[in-house]
């Protein structure tokens, strides 16, 4: 059931972003926090689902420590990336001179996060599949 809620929140995200207000609108910070919270909650629920599923595969995958570490890595990565983005928002002044540079840094952080999540997902899937 937890996975269904996570999936539902993931499906809601594109529709929420489709109705966002302009960047200069006074309610834009509210939108940003709502959008961010939905994403973080979906990620927490998805990680919880992975941990529950990994717990049910104990007979197939006997390496309990590796299972727990790989199951909890996505949430740790999410927390680290969230703190990094909050740091960028709070302490880095964005102006016309450094806008492109900050945008590229943010893109790089997102790409690294997505690549790491995909790697963790593939590793978990392979370990469960081969029963390692």
- Give the pair of three-digit tokens for residue 31: 């939108």
- Give the pair of three-digit tokens for residue 101: 């540079």
pLDDT tens string for the chain (132 positions)?
888 999 899 899 989 888 888 878 888 889 988 998 898 898 888 878 877 777 776 666 667 777 777 777 877 887 888 888 888 878 877 777 888 888 888 888 888 888 888 887 787 777 767 765
Q: Do the Cβ atoms of 124 and 51 come closer than 8 Å?
A: no
Domain count, the chain: 2
pLDDT for the residue 20: 86
pLDDT for the residue 12: 92
Task: List all residues 6 or more positions away from 112 whose beta carbon is below 8 Å from its beta carbon.
Answer: none
pLDDT for the residue 9: 92
What is the residue range of 11's domain? 1-56
Question: Quick one: 98 and 119 in the same domain?
Answer: yes
Question: Quick one: 97 and 127 in the same domain?
Answer: yes
pLDDT for the residue 40: 83
Beta strands in the chain, from DSSP E residues, in sequence order? none
Radius of gyration of the chain (CA): 18
Question: Quick one: 75 and 107 in the same domain?
Answer: yes
Question: Quick one: 64 and 52 in the same domain?
Answer: no
pTM over 0.75? The answer is: no
Identify the domain boundary among 41, 56, 71.
56
Question: Quick one: 41 and 73 in the same domain?
Answer: no
pLDDT for the residue 62: 66
- Give the pair of three-digit tokens for residue 127: 């370990």
Question: Quick one: 100 and 47 in the same domain?
Answer: no
Q: 27-44 b/e with 16+ CB inside 10 Å = b? A: eeeebeeeeeebbeebbb
Question: Quick one: 49 and 66 in the same domain?
Answer: no
- Give the pair of three-digit tokens for residue 36: 């961010």
Question: Quick one: 130 and 79 in the same domain?
Answer: yes
Residue 75: phi and psi, rounded to 5, are -70, -35
């Amino acid at each position: 059931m937890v996975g269904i809620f996570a999936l539902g929140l993931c499906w809601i995200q594109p529709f929420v972003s489709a109705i966002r207000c302009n960047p200069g609108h006074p309610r834009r910070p509210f939108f940003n926090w709502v959008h961010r919270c939905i994403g973080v909650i979906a990620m927490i629920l998805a990680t919880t689902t992975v941990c529950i599923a990994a717990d049910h595969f104990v007979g197939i995958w006997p390496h309990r420590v590796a299972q727990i570490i790989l199951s909890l890595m996505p949430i740790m990565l999410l927390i680290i990336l969230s703190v990094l983005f909050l740091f960028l928002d709070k302490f880095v002044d964005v102006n016309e001179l450094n806008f492109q540079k900050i945008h590229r840094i943010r893109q790089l952080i997102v790409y690294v996060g997505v690549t790491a999540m995909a790697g963790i997902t593939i590793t978990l899937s392979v370990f469960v599949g081969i029963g390692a």
